[in-house]
Amino acid sequence: MKKTYFFIFLLAIAQGSIAQDQPKLVVGIVVDQMRQEYLYRFENKFGENGFKRLMNNGFMLTNMHYNYVPTFTAPGHSSVYTGSTPAVHGIISNDWWDKDIKKKVNCVGDDRQKPVGSTEGNGDVSPWRLLSTTVTDELKLFTQKKSKVIGISIKDRGAVLPAGHFADAAYWFESSNGKFISSTYYFNTLPGWVEAFNTQKLPDTYINKVWNPLLPIAQYTESGPDDSPYEKVFKGKDKAVFPYDLSKLHKENDGFDLLYHTPFGNDLLTDFAMAALKAESLGKHEVTDFFTISFSSPDYVGHNFGPNSVEIEDTYIRLDKNIETLLAKLDEQVGKDNYVVFLTADHAVEDVPQSLKDAKLPAGYLSEKALSEELNAMLQKNFPGKNLVESVTNQQVFLNADLFTGEPKIAGVDLMIATDMIVNYLQKKEGVALVYTRTALKQGDYNEGGSKGMIIRGFNHRRSGDIVFELEPAWLSSSSKKGTSHGTSYTYDTHVPALFYGKGINKGSSAVRHQITDIAPTISVLLKIKYPSGCTGNPITEIVDNK
């Protein structure tokens, strides 16, 4: 009997020591549209307690890449937290053409839900289209849903997808009324602390600020000139140059929506993060909590001004201070040795193609709307009176299967003919590098290398199109010659930062190539929980092997 009690005593000690090994809080930070090279290019402008604290006192992976296309926001966030790719988790883009209902759908759109905290806005959302569990879901399952999981962002998808299916809450900013809102998927009324935060009307303060560079503009030597012909211009201004007086600009630029396009969007989200940490007592429970934060404003600024603008550099200098504020709050509330932070991005970004063309580098533009019209006109020769192409979106061609009617064998032949005609047309189209049919991708190997493998991993057999194409390097699916975007398989879109910091994370760095799908299983190993259900990545051994 004494031996039995002694064994139970030892077991209790062992279980206690395991519990002590776990962080009290995991904070996942995704920066929307961040290149790895920003950490190097802007390093001398960063303080010691923001990005540099993570870089110098944590573990940095300098060769982290996305391993699929398209490299967009929703697939990126989903892949970080599921450890899988769109072929598995199903989030193939921010929105896509639904072949069943024949209209475009949003990645988190859910007509069964209603906004909470607002009578209008994009509150009819949920993670229901995400087909895999997330690492946040697995933490919930492991702790019998005792862990608290909260997700926040300016964008709804940036909050909803990382927080997963079992989240206690997800919050995002509604520009129509300047409030953080949620969805009936989580609850029917906002918590009191969110209502209290909204009553402060901080967006009113930010929307009346003047955006001046934080440093003297002459010190922004890591960027191009402030007056650049390649940047989008806000309504009410003649040029895209500092200062930006938001009090004079916001009425012509969709009100609070203008905040998204400035670093004040990051400031507002940081304010909300501070309130959430305190009100939800994150990191103060018996089990590990998880807090997901997605900074959306760098994406808007990057799209408008490009990666070589003074505006983007100033945004990252200011974001460095937001990271510093967040880490200081975690030190105070959770304790320096009690939390883990990882920071990455949902994609990187391309240089403005027109700026490359003017520098005599290969680059160009392709309008998907114009391409759709071209394809339907071309197909009229063999299929008069029929618009066989329903949509060209996200570098995919969606065919109207309902128009291939009649005897099955004939309909099948017609479909083959139309597909072959489109493939041949695209292969001759300037700016198109690769073209693959649905059949070729379904027969491909998930682990195949090169661009074809990236397309396969981004291709979901139920949701993706009938034909997929990739553009040449430095080409963009756009008709605008100002600003830029992302979405391709090239390194300028795939190479992102990956920083790990906190409890149990040693100092160091590695130039070994890793895939974005490796983050979720790495966090799973650190938390000693099951991998997400669709996980295809592997733990990062440089981080987990020394535990």
Known active-site residue 541: no
- The terminus-to-terminus CA distance of the chain in angstroms comes to 36
Query: Residue 293: CB partners within 8 Å, gap ≥ 6?
Result: 27, 28, 29, 30, 151, 152, 153, 269, 273, 326
Beta-bridge mates of residue 124: none
Residue 103's pLDDT band (cuts 50, 70, 90): very high
Beta-bridge mates of residue 106: 95
- Work out the burial of residue 121: count CB atoms within 10 Å of its CB; fewer than 13 is exposed, 13-18 middle, 19 or more buried: middle
Regarding the domain with residue range 2-98+105-349+488-544, which homologous superfamily does it belong to in the CATH classification?
Answer: Alkaline Phosphatase, subunit A (3.40.720.10)
> What does the pLDDT look like over 323-349, one tens digit per residue?
999 999 999 999 998 999 999 999 999
Residue 410: the pLDDT is 65
> What does the pLDDT look like over 123-159, one tens digit per residue?
899 999 999 999 999 999 999 999 999 999 999 999 9
Catalytic residue among 4, 62, 71, 73, which?
Answer: 73
Closest CA to 234 of 224, 244, 220: 244
- Which residue ranges does the chain devote to CATH 3.40.720.10? 2-98+105-349+488-544
DSSP states along 272-321: HHHHHHHHTTTT-SSS-EEEEEEE-HHHHHHHHH-TTSHHHHHHHHHHHH
DSSP-based three-state secondary structure for 439: helix
Q: How many CB atoms lie within 10 A of CB 446?
A: 12
Higher-scoring residue by pLDDT: 306, 123: 306
What's the CATH code, domain 367-428+432-471?
A: 3.30.1360.150
Q: Quick check: 215 and 45 in contact, CB under 8 A?
A: yes
Interatomic CA distance for residues 110 and 106, integer angstroms: 8
Query: Peptide bond preceding 473: is omega within 30 degrees of 0, i.e. cis?
Result: no
Task: Please provide the average confidence, as pLDDT, over all residues in the chain.
Answer: 94
- Which residue ranges does the chain devote to CATH 3.30.1360.150? 367-428+432-471
Q: Quick check: 470 and 434 in contact, CB under 8 A?
A: yes
